[in-house]
Amino acid sequence: MSLPIRNVAIIAHVDHGKTTLVDSLLQQSGIFREGEDVPTCVMDSNDLERERGITILSKNTAVHYKDTLINIIDTPGHADFGGEVERVLGMVDGCILIVDANEGPMPQTRFVLKKALEKGLRPIVVVNKIDRPRAEPMGAVDKVLDLFIELGADDDQCDFPYLFASGLAGYAKNELEDEDKDMQPLFEGILHHVPPPVGDSEKPLQLQVTTLAYSEYLGRIVIGKVHNGTIRAGEQIALVKEDGKIVKSKISKLMGFEGLQRTDIDEATAGNIVAVAGFADANIGETLTSPENPQALPLIKVDEPTLQMTFAVNDSPFAGKEGKFVTSRQIRDRLMRELETNVALRVEETDSPDRFGVSGRGELHLGILIETMRREGYEFQVSQPQVIFREVNGQPCEPYEQLVMDVPEDAVGGCMERLGQRRGEMQDMMMDGNGRAQLEFVVPARGLIGFRGEFMRQTRGEGIMNHSFLDYRPMSGDVGARRNGVLIAFEEGVSTFYAMKNAEDRGIFFIEPGTKVYKGMIVGENNRPQDLELNICKAKQLTNHRAASGDELVQLQTPQEMGLERALEYIASDEMVEVTPESIRLRKMPKKKLAKKR
């Protein structure tokens, strides 16, 4: 007799506390030994996730509560990683929607909730962070109801159960007046409101691959939910490929989930989430089924990408000095490998063998891929992100984004003006009475490329902006995203303090003295709209006379740091970002290359 099961996904806007809440559920379910050193954000296992404090890959864990096995799936909050959310929602029968008691639902809450409602799930709403100052838990519940109605939820979904919680303090409660104790009310809510999985263990086997993992010992591991039938270790089963081809293979290992560990099991019935080894060429969305009666489940449909950029072999004067993998074959193989697990990504070959068109969900989606490749030792260069246009009913259309900004009141005018220039239309504006305002806009995706830097300057670093894909609409006119010209190095060499001090009044530098530069490398931003070439390697002519001003301490302005995302937003269409494991440089494309590209 197998245990009763509940499969639940945790969905929320980025930073509303999903991973922290999962930490509390794990700790109170008793999966850690007494005195065991428990890391925070247990589920964010990837280095980049820990550094940035965001979830990028969806992951699952399992806990026992009152003889019931609860499979919990933590999903990303960024719409850029929506592909991760879409594919795991097919594994669950219910979801927990987490909303910040202070901010209420945000753009990406809308995005993930819409996907859950389309799948027919009935969410349990958890109003998190109720212990923070300025929290309005009941106000957040009202806003969530408005959002449900706006997204076309049915009457049953609108009558959602809700709880109040603090993931950090480790408690949940049904009413605000209740005592702060532990997470038990949330566990009870999952048992009570999430239906058990539907599936018949007597039918032929059907398991859909929703996640891929890799082990050096076992090779590729596929993770998915058993929709029907029973799966046993060591048995021969069939894999129905995307094109309908059937490949038979033997299960070399069958694993279930227990806490954060995978444990070996002999068999699993319908409703269980399992990991299976033995299928080296299985891909996401394909079905493992019985060889006598192969029946494929419908493939997972994922929204199309909205941004595209070119990945090219690095051909700058410093090419090949810092990277381990630099050839077009190595870059191509790595991109093709990424396609196997990253369902929202597209890679196309171009007419040039050393350039690849890579399309994704947004700047963050592509930025994470670039950063991951860079850390693995790849060296390449990327072009400015371009929006993907589409034809709808014979009319050219472009993607639009919903943008929500939380800004100080004195920056409202400046932000509205800038977005107006970028064809943004204001939908809503709310003042909170504490010197901050929340603005809601609908903007063409083109208008948001390069906007973050401007936004940070307008709000002096105090603003928060979030946006998510809305839909395709007819093309708007020219998007007036202007920026000044750039300062370009005139020759190869090492930048000197003397030359940079003399050119300081020309603009802002991106580099420090002592940086190696080459002809055509962008070293700063000009104060004027034109590009300007500078000799920043010029050294001071030394004489044997003592200068009168020799004792003064001369200082340079602090250079502006160009991280990867900032660089991708900053570059123009005739510029590239050179990415190596050690540095990120900006450069102008050589004139003859530009002519050829045009």
Contact (CB, 8 A) for 366 and 360: yes
315 marked as part of a ligand binding site? no
CA distance 18 to 40: 12
Cβ contacts of 52 within 8 Å, gap of 6 or more: none
CA distance 519 to 512: 17
Contacts of 535 (CB under 8 A, 6+ apart): 490, 491, 499
Determine if residue 16 is labeled as part of a ligand binding site.
yes
Q: Going by C-beta distance under 8 Å and a sequence separation of 6 or more, which residues neighbour residue 499?
A: 534, 535, 536, 537, 538, 539
Instruction: Confirm or deny that 182 is annotated as ligand binding.
Output: no
Q: Which of 548, 546, 537, 597 is nearest to 573 (CA)?
A: 597
- At a CB cut-off of 8 Å and minimum separation 6, what does 190 contact? 6, 8, 65, 70, 94, 96, 124
How far apart CA 386 and CA 28 sit, in angstroms, is: 47
The answer to whether 316 and 578 have CB atoms below 8 angstroms apart is yes
Q: CA angle at residue 30 from 24 to 32, to 5 degrees? A: 85
Contact 517, 495 (CB under 8 A): yes
Query: Would you list the DSSP string of 368-426?
Result: HHHHHHHHTTB-EEEE--EEPPEEETTEEEEEEEEEEEEEEGGGHHHHHHHHHHTT-EE
Is the CB of residue 287 less than 8 Å from the CB of residue 209? yes
List Cα–Cα distances, 294 to 203, 204, 211, 230, 241, in angstroms.
11, 8, 21, 14, 11
Q: Pick from 99, 173, 188, 179: which is nearest to 139 by CA?
A: 99
The answer to whether 128 is a known ligand-binding residue is yes
Q: How far is CA 143 from CA 147, 150, 333, 435, 493, in A?
A: 6, 10, 47, 21, 58
The residues with which 406 forms a beta bridge, in sequence order, are: 438, 464
Q: Give the closest residue to 400 by CA, choosing from 410, 388, 411.
A: 388
264 annotated to a ligand binding site = no
| Spatial contact of 6 and 68, defined as CB atoms under 8 Å apart | yes
DSSP letters along 485-538, please? -EEEE-SSEE--HHHHHHTGGGEEESS-TT-EE-TTEEEEEESSSS-EEE---P
Q: Is 18 annotated as a binding residue?
A: yes
3-class SS string, 13-74: CCCCCHHHHHHHHHHHCCCCCCCCCCCCCCCCCCHHHHHHCCCCCCEEEEEEECCEEEEEEE
Annotated binding-site residue? 130: yes
Write the CB contacts of 284 (distance below 8 Å, at least 6 apart in sequence): 87, 209, 210, 211, 212, 300, 340, 341, 343
Query: SS3 for 179?
Result: coil
Local structure of residue 90 (DSSP, 8 states): G
Angle at 397 between CA 451 and CA 402, to 5 degrees: 40
Is 210 one of the annotated binding-site residues? no
Binding site membership: which residues? 15-20, 128-131
Binding site membership for GTP: which residues? 15-20, 128-131
